[in-house]
């Protein structure tokens, strides 16, 4: 009970710090001016015998101090402010909570944990979506995919002027009929120059000569 202590005349006054080395916490009582160590209490378990609360106050505790020779003694310590006493409790709880977490991690066998298989299975594929790779419309070197026709053939774009594929071209104008010149489906005749006034040898007929000169065109007239 803290009421049994001589609280108005404490044997020593100073500052209290909590440090840690490994899993052990150390309560250090130091001079508030020079930092000289007055006493130290190693704490290996909390709650435990090294730190105990009194029954009649939340600001006073009994701690077990220990010197370098291993000698131990129990002394009572207390805080003027209740908030400092709360921080004292929380600091010890946080330290030993960390100790328990480290102990649990050490007991876990890493071989028993789930293993990540990042290798590709047989036939497995991935799809990459690369953004901002589309060329600007009308840029140099851009091409458009041509529509595929039946059987995988590529169809050529329609010619300028709005004509569609498969439309019959306009018919060629027929040969002009000149006066006095016969025209047939297979022979294209042209007017011949007028004969000289002087008598001359009879000229070859016009139609056969024209047929020989324009034979290729006559064959394609159909």
Is 207 strand, coil or helix? helix
CA separation (Å) from 19 to 32, 113, 119, 150?
16, 34, 47, 83
pLDDT (mean) for 71-96: 92
- Matching residue, tokens 């306009």: 170
pLDDT at 88 over 60: yes
Highest mean pLDDT pick, 27-31, 43-47, 125-129: 27-31
Greater confidence, 97 or 186?
97
User: CATH 3.40.50.300: does it fit domain 2-102?
Assistant: no
111-163 pLDDT per residue, tens? 655 666 777 777 778 777 777 665 555 555 555 555 555 555 556 666 665 55
Cβ neighbours around 14 below 10 Å, total: 18
Reported residue count of the chain is 222
pLDDT at 175 over 60: no
The percentage of residues in the chain with a pLDDT greater than 90, rounded to a whole number, is 27
DSSP line for 54-91 = -SS-SSEEEEEEE-TTS-EEEEEEE-SSHHHHHHHHHH
CA separation (Å) from 51 to 43, 56, 64?
7, 16, 7
Return the H-helix or E-strand segment holding 96.
helix 82-107
Please tell me the predicted confidence (pLDDT) of residue 120: 74
∠ Cα 105 108 112 (to 5°)? 140
Nearest partner of 51 among 77, 71, 33, 32, judged by Cα: 77
pLDDT at 14 over 60: yes
| β-pair partners for 52 | 62
Please tell me the predicted confidence (pLDDT) of residue 127: 79
**Confidence class of residue 38 from pLDDT cuts 50, 70 and 90?**
very high
Greater confidence, 191 or 75?
75
pLDDT (mean) for 79-102: 91
pLDDT at 200 over 80: no
Contact 13, 6 (CB under 8 A): no
**Confidence class of residue 46 from pLDDT cuts 50, 70 and 90?**
confident
pLDDT at 208 over 80: no
């Amino acid at each position: 009970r803290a009421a049994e202590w001589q609280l108005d005349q404490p044997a020593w006054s100073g500052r209290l710090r909590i440090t840690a080395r490994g899993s052990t916490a150390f309560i250090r009582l130091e001079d508030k001016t020079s930092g000289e160590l007055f006493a130290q209490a190693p704490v290996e378990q909390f709650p435990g015998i090294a730190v105990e609360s009194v029954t009649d106050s939340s600001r006073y505790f009994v701690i077990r101090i220990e010197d370098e020779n291993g000698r131990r003694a129990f002394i009572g310590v207390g805080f003027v402010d209740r908030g400092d006493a709360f921080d004292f409790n929380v600091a010890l709880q946080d330290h030993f909570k960390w100790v328990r977490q480290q102990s649990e991690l050490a007991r876990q066998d890493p071989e028993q944990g789930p293993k990540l298989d990042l290798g590709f299975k047989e036939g497995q594929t991935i799809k990459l979506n690369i953004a901002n790779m589309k060329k600007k419309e009308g840029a140099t070197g851009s091409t458009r995919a041509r529509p595929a026709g039946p059987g995988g053939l590529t169809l050529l774009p329609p010619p300028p002027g709005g004509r569609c594929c498969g439309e019959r071209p306009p018919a060629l104008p027929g040969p002009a009929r000149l006066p006095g010149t016969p025209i047939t489906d297979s022979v294209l005749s042209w007017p011949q120059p007028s004969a000289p006034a002087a008598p001359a040898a009879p000229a070859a007929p016009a139609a056969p000569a024209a047929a020989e000169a324009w034979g290729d065109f006559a064959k394609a007239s159909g």
